[in-house]
Structure 1
Amino acid sequence: MSAAVRARLAMTLAAWLAAFAVVMLLLALFGDLLAALPLAARAAVISGVLVTVMVNLVMPRLSTVISRWAGAPRPGTPPPGAGERVRS
């Protein structure tokens, strides 16, 4: 399995686990307050907080850790040898 495929699979699993943890935390902390809201409002609040937390806090850190673990280059990083001059 290539490093890129390994990184993609690891990122998918890590994102799902992180999202699950964030939703569980929200429900544990605010479940009683959210229960009073209609279903659509509950879904809007939970998904809004989830996306905000995932995009701004969780995924930047996870992507760095997983790319190091998988050996995949970080986005925007030139491939090895890209800056070298070719001698003729």
Structure 2
Amino acid sequence: MLSASRDDPSWTVARAKARLSEVIERAQSAPQTITRNGKPSVVVVSAEEWQRKTARKGTLAEFLLESPLRGAELDLGRLRDEPHDLPR
């Protein structure tokens, strides 16, 4: 059975359930991976880390203005095909 040691942040589902408090405590300093059937299934991270990873990093307009394609001469024309009947 896979078990988490101080050097290995991997836990089986059964061990993580039995030692949830320890998983949470250790996730405060490093992500903890929970495996199912020997394969990584989920990663437990601290709320602080989750906020940092999911925080918005600007607006869509800022993203588009910083695009490496800005100023590129792209042909963005659409084909004007006739509508097609779709099968029901």
Name the TM-score class by shorter chain: under 0.3
Query: Which structure carries more strand by proportion?
Result: 2
More helix by share: 1
- Greater radius of gyration (CA): 2
Q: TM-score, normalised by structure 2?
A: 0.27
Report which structure shows greater RCO (CA 8 Å, sep ≥6). 1
